[in-house]
Amino acid sequence: MSTTDGTLHDYEYALVRAVPRVERGECVNIGVLLYCRQSAHLGARTHLDQARLLALDPVADVAAVRRALHGIEAVCAGGPGAGPAATDNPGQRFRWLTAPRSAVVQPGPVHTGLTADPEAELRRLFDQLVL
């Protein structure tokens, strides 16, 4: 949602990372989450570079990582596809998605910024940090 008057709103974002061998700590960026409280915008953009993932772990479960990404996208979208998080507001869903976890698909630290267009900012971050 873009503000027509150019008003800047604060937003929070986090990278989504695949860490196929948690004990090694090596990761590949596979997505970005962005939440803007003022516009109630919660979005995700994801992309799994299978070759990069398999370079870190040749036996990584690619299908499981793809399922996790689809789950993240569903939680961001809300509604029935979000499962138990369906009734949560966007901020609660963002906090749940960015909670630290020790799993193959993990959120990175939360960062902040200012934008007049959260969706455009999500695309920019995705292009810069994931692709």
Query: Does the predicted model carry a pTM greater than 0.85?
Result: yes
Nearest Cα to Cα of residue 97 among 127, 61, 63, 73: 73
Q: Which residues contact residue 70 at a Cβ distance below 8 angstroms, ignoring those fewer than 6 apart?
A: none
Show the low-confidence residues of the chain (pLDDT under 50).
Answer: 1-2
Quote the pLDDT of residue 1: 45
Q: Quick: pLDDT tens for 66-95.
A: 999 999 999 999 888 888 888 899 999 999
Nearest Cα to Cα of residue 41 among 117, 125, 123, 99: 117
Q: Which residues contact residue 117 at a Cβ distance below 8 angstroms, ignoring those fewer than 6 apart?
A: 1, 2, 3
